[in-house]
A and B are shown apart, each in its own frame.
Chain A
């Protein structure tokens, strides 16, 4: 049971490039989340999904897009990378929504935009 798996672990992008951060979970969780964590700071919610085909914006969605075509996968897309998007990105999942079950986190993707 792998839990929440994120790829890649590290990536360096040039300004204006695009990339997709992958997230997959094998716990049959309905709810999935993307957070960013800037150095020395807390976690900010980017997007979340309550099930396949359903996504919604969090606190800081600008510059990002998501899709949820399957229960297992929840990729995060950066279309035009900007230095302000340099951060560590964490994907998380839970069986039900935030007020009922804990969220389980992946190991994160450390992204630098130069």
Chain B
């Protein structure tokens, strides 16, 4: 079955710096890759997604890149702010299901 690996597990950056989170997936049939942000005690919320026919997608300070050949995709957050502090999950869709990575805890230091 599909397996999604996510790195790093924790990431600490200075406010204003960039943050990059990387994921790899195992099943080449996966063709949809969402990213979710989860604040402490809250629900996961979709922040950006990318489909396999696109190599990069941006939305203000966040961007996602996809390399289908290498089977990896990454989340980039620029000009980080304290409110970006949260746990971020990547996921890969296989059939009807999403397979989630184990999460990255991002801390943005003021």
Chain B contacts of A108 at CB under 8 A? 43
Q: Does B46 contact A (CB under 8 A)?
A: yes
Chain A contacts of B102 at CB under 8 A? 41-42
Chain B contacts of A102 at CB under 8 A? 34, 46, 49
A90 touches B44 (CB 8 A): yes
* A interface residues, Cβ below 8 angstroms from B: 31, 33, 40-45, 48, 50, 56, 58, 90, 97-100, 102-108
Q: Which partner residue on chain B sits nearest A96 by CB separation?
A: B96
A41-B103, A90-B44 are known contacts. Are A98 and B96 too (CB-CB below 8 A)?
Answer: yes
Chain A contacts of B103 at CB under 8 A? 40-42
Of the residues A43, A48, A105, contact of B96 by C-beta under 8 Å = A48
- Once bound together, how far apart are the Cα atoms of A56 and B102, in whole Å? 23
Q: How many residues of chain B have a CB within 8 Å of chain A?
A: 23
Instruction: Name the distance in Å between B48's Cβ and chain A's nearest Cβ.
Output: 10
A98-B96, A98-B98 are known contacts. Are A43 and B34 too (CB-CB below 8 A)?
Answer: no
Instruction: List 29 A-B residue pairs with CB atoms under 8 Å apart, sorted by A's residue number.
Output: A41-B102, A41-B103, A42-B6, A42-B102, A43-B44, A43-B100, A45-B97, A45-B98, A45-B99, A56-B96, A97-B97, A98-B94, A98-B95, A98-B96, A98-B97, A98-B98, A99-B30, A99-B93, A99-B96, A100-B32, A100-B93, A103-B46, A103-B98, A104-B46, A105-B43, A105-B44, A107-B42, A107-B43, A108-B43
Chain A contacts of B49 at CB under 8 A? 102
Q: Which of A31, A41, A102, A104 is most buried by chain B, counting CB atoms within 10 A of its CB? A: A102
Chain B contacts of A33 at CB under 8 A? 97-98
Give 6 A-B pairs besides A42-B6, A42-B89 with Cβ atoms closer than 8 angstroms: A41-B102, A45-B99, A50-B96, A90-B44, A102-B46, A106-B43
